[in-house]
């Protein structure tokens, strides 16, 4: 029997490091994966901040979108129809089934991504995002909004790029309670500290990380621990049913670490890394971020842009998830994995464990 192919129309909001890699892969390997899952993907809208916006109901060419911004031109040249004056207007007008949201992180309010996600769900689109802002600031409300509109809000690549974290817990570890976690979740600081261990200056190491496309638009968000704090909240709120906001996180970045201290630790077989911790204390979940000296055998003591998460659970003890050398490639893959989840039947959403009655 031939399975009917569903057309999946995608509106992409944000066309930077992640958005461009996603579009590069879309016509080739990603289209093949989606096709195997029963969907033909069509890019119908793309929005940026300073590089214009385009809607084409017949489908935008990935190559043309990439060429437009590579020449420092504008997506406006590819647009069909009356001009689109803002991103929110594009979301309201785009003929799309799903919005992929990859605008920069605002660690203090989660905007404008939060408004983009709300607008798309209200319009009846599913939403996939790599932006941890909406997950940390509004996941519970966004899931409720999605349910009211019969849509889904998926965010696998918001933490540890495409490595399965949220989906792993939701689909493969039913009924498990997460008691706490610790993780190295910020690739930029991992990369910078690794290169400083090898003798590079912090400024040169940051420049290299920027060239890899892994640095937040404002590097201070990485270096001062904001990105890690927002990820810690996103995880705590999703996996531990917490309600923690990034402003409540006890947070220290890596700027206070001297290169001499980092290199001495490396000579002694240890590593400084920016560690996020969450634990339940006095009935509340507390999240903290700060540099820690890790022994060589610690699963968090990876190198370069590696990230790792160690979950402390009730029924499975400790579970470690490790991603080696995270780049935008893995982040873009996380978006694909969520698109595949959309075209497959939904798994039940993770929530507080229900008491079961035995018949």
Ligand X SMILES: NC(=O)c1ccc[n+]([C@@H]2O[C@H](COP(=O)([O-])OP(=O)(O)OC[C@H]3O[C@@H](n4cnc5c(N)ncnc54)[C@H](OP(=O)(O)O)[C@@H]3O)[C@@H](O)[C@H]2O)c1
Residue 188 is a binding residue for ligand X (CB under 6 A): no
Main-chain phi, psi angles of 270, to 5 degrees: -115, 175
- Sign, CA torsion 87/90/92/95: negative
Please state, as a whole number, how many other Cβ atoms lie within 10 Å of the Cβ of residue 291: 20
Q: Give the separation between CA 328 and CA 340, rounded to whole angstroms.
A: 19
Residues numbered 51 to 70 that lie near ligand X (CB under 6 A) are: 51
Residue number, 16 or 259, with CB nearest to ligand X:
16
Residue 102 is a binding residue for ligand X (CB under 6 A): yes
Among 12, 24, 75, 103, binds ligand X (CB under 6 A): 103
Residue number, 97 or 106, with CB nearest to ligand X:
106
Residues numbered 128 to 147 that lie near ligand X (CB under 6 A) are: 130-131
Residue 105 is a binding residue for ligand X (CB under 6 A): yes
237 sits in which H/E element: helix 226-239
Residue number, 127 or 266, with CB nearest to ligand X:
127
Residue 214 is a binding residue for ligand X (CB under 6 A): yes
For 162, what's the count of Cα atoms within 13 Å in the CB-facing half-sphere? 19
Q: Give the separation between CA 60 and CA 35, rounded to whole angstroms.
A: 18
CB 142 within 8 A of CB 121: yes
Q: How far is the CB of 94 from ligand X (least distance, A)?
A: 12
Q: Give the separation between CA 203 and CA 21, rounded to whole angstroms.
A: 26
Residues numbered 150 to 179 that lie near ligand X (CB under 6 A) are: 157, 161
Residue number, 104 or 164, with CB nearest to ligand X:
104
Closest to 184 (Cα-Cα) out of 135, 218, 228, 234:
228
Residue 289 is a binding residue for ligand X (CB under 6 A): no
Residue 104 is a binding residue for ligand X (CB under 6 A): yes
Radius of gyration of the chain (CA): 21
Residue number, 88 or 241, with CB nearest to ligand X:
88
Residue number, 105 or 289, with CB nearest to ligand X:
105
CB 216 within 8 A of CB 144: no
Among 12, 15, 237, 291, binds ligand X (CB under 6 A): 15
Residue 331 is a binding residue for ligand X (CB under 6 A): yes
Strand 317-323 and strand 39-47: the pairing is unpaired
Residue 189 is a binding residue for ligand X (CB under 6 A): no
Residues within the interface to ligand X (CB under 6 A)? 13-19, 47-51, 87, 102-105, 112, 130-131, 157, 161, 213-214, 216-217, 328, 331
């Amino acid at each position: 029997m031939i399975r009917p192919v569903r057309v999946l129309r995608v509106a992409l909001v944000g066309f930077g490091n992640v958005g461009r890699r996603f579009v590069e892969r879309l016509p080739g390997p990603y289209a093949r994966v989606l096709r195997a899952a029963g969907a033909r993907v069509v890019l119908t809208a793309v929005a940026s901040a300073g590089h214009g916006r385009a809607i084409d109901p017949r489908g935008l060419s990935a190559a043309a979108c990439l060429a437009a911004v590579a020449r420092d031109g504008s997506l406006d040249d590819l647009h069909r129809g009356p001009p689109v004056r803002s991103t929110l207007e594009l979301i309201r007008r785009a003929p799309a089934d799903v919005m992929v949201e990859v605008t920069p992180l605002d660690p203090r309010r989660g905007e404008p991504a939060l408004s983009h996600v709300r607008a798309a769900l209200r319009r009846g689109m599913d939403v996939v995002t790599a932006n941890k802002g909406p997950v940390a600031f509004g996941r519970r409300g966004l899931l409720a909004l999605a349910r009211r509109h019969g849509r889904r809000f998926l965010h696998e690549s918001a933490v540890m790029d495409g490595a399965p974290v949220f989906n792993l817990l939701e689909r493969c570890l039913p009924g498990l309670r997460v008691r706490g976690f610790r993780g190295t979740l910020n690739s930029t600081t991992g990369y910078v500290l690794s290169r400083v261990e090898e003798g590079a200056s912090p400024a040169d190491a940051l420049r290299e990380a920027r060239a890899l496309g892994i640095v937040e638009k404002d590097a201070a968000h990485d270096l001062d621990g904001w990105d890690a704090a927002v990820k810690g909240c996103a995880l705590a709120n999703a996996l531990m049913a917490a309600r923690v906001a990034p402003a409540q996180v006890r947070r220290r970045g890596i700027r206070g670490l001297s290169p001499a201290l980092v290199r001495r630790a490396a000579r002694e077989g240890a590593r400084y890394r920016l560690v996020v911790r969450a634990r339940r204390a006095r009935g509340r979940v507390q999240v903290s971020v700060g540099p820690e000296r890790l022994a060589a055998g610690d699963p968090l003591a990876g190198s370069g842009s590696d990230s790792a998460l160690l979950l402390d659970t009730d029924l499975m003890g400790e579970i470690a998830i490790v991603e080696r050398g995270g780049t935008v490639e893995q982040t873009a893959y996380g978006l694909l994995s969520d698109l595949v989840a959309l075209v497959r039947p939904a798994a039940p959403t993770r929530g507080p464990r229900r008491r079961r009655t035995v018949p």
